[in-house]
Amino acid sequence: MKNLKIDVVLGTRPEIIKLSPVLSELKRRKIRYHLVHTGQHYSFKMDRIFFKDLRIPDPNYLLGIGPGTHGEQTGKTLIKIEKAFLKEKPDIVLVEGDTNSVFATALAAVKLGIKVGHIEAGLRSFDRKMPEEINRVLTDHISDYLFAPTTMSKENLLREGIDKKKVFVTGNTIVDATLKNIKVAEKKSKILSRLSISKDNYFLLTLHRAENVDNKERLKEIILTIKELCKKYLIVFPAHPRTTKRLREFNLSKDVKKIKNLKIIEPVGYLDFLKLEVNASLILTDSGGIQEEACILNVPCVTLRENTERPETITIGSNIIAGWKKETITTGVHKMLKKKRRWKHPFGIGNSAKKIVDILLR
């Protein structure tokens, strides 16, 4: 255990959140690790508030991959991460999720003979048009330790012929992060007073996925739907940089800014966002992680997609798939507002990081 050396690689805000409990557990047990920030979506400067909120030390490596095509991001990550691995010579590399840099990191490690642990393994939307689905499948099939959040994700892996000895149901580290930080957020965050909003008096909207915001027809339809909902409900919208850029390119920015009852704000830190989530009467999102957080926090969720890799949230009734058309979104909103918040989330009890580190040490 004293000689075990781990490299933990992250590159997006969801990865920072979900890996933070693992980093805390490694620190608690005095296990050596190096932290690598690929910078796939953001610079470290933009992510710094998440590092601060989650009390994560600065990365040992900043790769600065940045935006680009799928091939560019994957190729740049392969080249840069390989150099870091050759220098550090870790025993194990930990990755989380389904981004281009996750797959590239796993591929670089495997080719160097380094063991790979994939946190949140086995998620499937069964939609190969999603780049994330390709990344998930490929990463799972080259990993040595597959940490599945639920029995459903484990079954996906076994159906694909992956050796059951490699698969471990650990729960999802997002539960660890949410339970640890929600009380801190409720106490420290002043976001509600800053925005002059109150509990259960608003919807929370997030929108960033390429299939929605890079498609003018879809984005326009979603905005028209939001405009219609705002006739009756207040909606808080932390606008993702990608979405803001597309709204400008499609000449939709002015229309969005004119929508009454739509509060457009800059992206916020983790604690502020948690507080916005837990106090919302409903969440509209195309994010996978937010579907999980809404489920954990007992807030009804309407997913602005045509599928989900979190089907457990549909099964227990915390979430509904509404697609991108006005009729299905408004129907979904009205249905979820009537929901009794009695579901029990399926993602574990908040000890996933401990389980993962236990398995690695064994």
| Residues classed as catalytic | 208
Return the ∠ at Cα 158 (arms to 157 and 162), rounded to 5°. Answer: 75
- Number of helical (H) and strand (E) elements in the chain, helices listed first: 17, 13
Task: With residue 316 as reference, give the H or E element that holds it.
Answer: helix 311-316
**Number of Cβ within a 10 Å radius of residue 198:** 11
What is the three-class DSSP state of 70? helix
For residue 63, CA distances in Å to 81, 171, 356 come to: 8, 30, 26
For residue 118, CA distances in Å to 13, 50, 121, 143, 211 come to: 17, 22, 6, 6, 25
Q: Assign residue 196 a region (left: φ > 0; alpha: ψ between -120 and 50; beta: otherwise).
A: left
**Number of Cβ within a 10 Å radius of residue 126:** 10
Read off the DSSP letter of residue 41.
S
